[in-house]
Every structure is written in structure tokens, then in C-alpha cells.
Amino acid sequence: MIYTLTLNPAVDCVVHAKSICAGGINRLDSEELYFGGKGINVSIMLKELGIDSVATGFIAGFTGDAINDAVSSLGIKTSFVRLESGFSRVNIKIRSQGETDLNADGPIIPDSALSLLLKQLAELRDGDTIILSGSVPSSVPKSIYKNILELLRGKEIYSVLDAPGEALSLAICESPSLIKPNLSELEELSGRRLCDISSIISCCRELQSSGAREILVSLAENGAVLVPEKGDAIILPAHKGSLVNSVGAGDSMVAGFTAGLTIFNGDRKKALLLATAAGGATAFSPGLAKKEDIMRLFELTPAV
């Protein structure tokens, strides 16, 4: 079974306006509500691709109930730890002459709730997959992903880590099966600018010597590169299209690659093709992409 972990789920309120006047009253052209968070987005995209998963993490209050209900309504099994106080965060995404995001911090997660989550994850078995996605809430130690991977050490579990900053750097020594940094996150890890594909691949090889295994780097409009443990890197350009929404594109890529490993029996090239198709389809959609849009791009060779 595939498990996705979202430490800080959210209700995303996306608002559209031709222009925004700071300090004044603004009338919106339209608005949408999305229930998710990075790991939940992965579960939703996996379901779209025909792959079951269990979504776990923390929820709180009436917004947490709404998140759980929305995810469950899609046929996705949930196993969230419910917090006794606070409420799951509400993020505001302003779409007006660009993208402006106002992301809340979220509820305080007590040690007792963290212990319940770790107890739940300790029950994962050989053959399972765990996808650890997103930033770490301020009330949780930055070492949480490292601690989870350490907890699972010795089991045959495929682990995917898609997290920024210190949470990622601390966890690499626990040898996650796959990490998925974007270019800026990779540059932060390496402490230097990476100006071309060769420098990106070289940086990934250095991270592999520190414990990382496979590395999937998302390069936005420049495509993606997969650096496997053995063999040459696989480089794919991005699909061409008009950017509508960048939220969830990276999560879609993680879901596409994970689903591709199952669908194509471990074929990394085909899994990467599905990953870039899923990421591109979401970028060209107002929300997370639908299967027909993903498969349409998958059947195309990315434009060079």
C-alpha cells in the first residue's frame, strides 16, 4: 500500500481578480476552494491514475473535518490523527497579474499527537511505499522526516521525500529511496548556483554520496532530470502549454512517477514520462489534472 503524509493540510481559497488594490476593498471575479496539502495532492493524483493510497497526517477543527470529508469523498482512504484544539489552516491564493500566496502556519501539534502518528507509521510493512511531502509545521521538529525514515529502517519500504530546506537536508543521511527537489531547493542543498544540466547532475551525484538514492529534479518549464542510483541520468524537456496554475504541479510529478513505477514495472524512463505529463497537465489546468489530460500529454513526446 502507498501512504502519503501531510503534516499540515490546508483549505486553499483561490481568488481571481483583474487587479488588486492594497488597502482597499476588492471585488473578485471568481473563487474556488481546494482541500489538500502536498501529500493529499499526491493521493488525489494517484487515485486519478488508478492507484490506491492512504492519506495520513494531522487535521483539526471544522476545517480539518472538511479536508477529511473531501478526501474521503474521492474514494481515498484516510487515517489522519485528529488534534484536540485549533483548526487546519486556510491559505489564500491570489491570482491577479501573477500568483501571490498567503500561507497560514497551521495548528500547534503536541508531542502526544506526534507520538500517535509515529506509532501509526511504525506499522508499515515490507512492500509498502511512504511519501513524505511538504514543509514542517513550526511546532514539529525539523528532523521529523529523518525520524520517520529512521523508524522504518530495516524494512523493505520505498520512501519518497519531497520537502524543502532543513527537513530535506537532515533526512538525506537516512537514504530515502527518492528525493524530489526543485532547482532552487537543490541549489540550497548544495550552497551554489546550478546553471546547466551537467552541474545539476554533478550535484545529485554528490548528494547520493551523502545517502540519497534516486533524485528527481523538477525544472519547471525546463522539464525534469532523474538521476538513478546506477546508470546515466534521464533528461526530459517540459511539455509546451500555457501556465494556468503552478500549485500542485510538483505533487502531480511525484504521483506520476510513483504510479509509473507500479504501472510500468519499475521502468524509470516511462515513470519519468508519466511524471512530466502529470506535472505539465496540472500546470495547464485550474486545479489538479484529470487522467485524460495526463494521458494526452503522456502519449506525446515532450517538445524540445
> Are residues 199 and 161 both part of a single domain?
no
> Are residues 2 and 130 both part of a single domain?
yes
251 included as an active-site residue? yes
> Are residues 158 and 207 both part of a single domain?
no
Residue 223: Cβ within 10 Å count: 21
> Are residues 142 and 283 both part of a single domain?
no
* Residues 251, 245 contacting (CB under 8 angstroms): no
Tell the burial category of 33 from Cβ atoms under 10 Å away from its Cβ (0-12, 13-18, 19+): exposed
Tallying the residues shown for the chain, one arrives at 304
- Is position 115 within any domain? yes
What pLDDT is recorded for position 304?
44
Three-class DSSP labels, 62-81: HHHHHHHHHHHCCCCEECCE
- Is position 25 within any domain? no
Residue 167: Cβ within 10 Å count: 21
> Are residues 149 and 292 both part of a single domain?
no
Which CATH number characterizes residue 212's domain? 3.40.1190.20
- Is position 197 within any domain? yes
Catalytic residue from among 12, 162, 251, 293: 251
Contacting residues for 169 by C-beta, under 8 A, at least 6 apart? 189
- Is position 207 within any domain? yes
> Are residues 3 and 124 both part of a single domain?
yes
Residue 77 is part of which domain span?
1-18+30-177
Half-sphere exposure of 200 (CA within 13 A, CB side): 24
> Are residues 173 and 185 both part of a single domain?
no
- pLDDT tens-place values along the chain, 304 residues long: 999 999 999 999 989 898 888 888 999 999 888 898 999 999 999 999 999 999 999 999 999 999 999 999 999 999 999 999 999 999 998 988 888 899 999 999 999 999 999 999 999 999 999 999 999 999 999 999 999 999 999 999 999 999 999 999 999 999 999 999 999 999 998 888 988 999 999 999 999 999 999 999 999 888 899 999 988 999 999 888 888 777 889 999 999 999 999 999 999 999 999 999 999 999 998 889 999 999 999 998 654 4
Number of domains forming the structure of the chain: 2
> Are residues 45 and 168 both part of a single domain?
yes
- Is position 24 within any domain? no
And the C-alpha cell for 12? 486553499
- Is position 23 within any domain? no
What pLDDT is recorded for position 99?
83
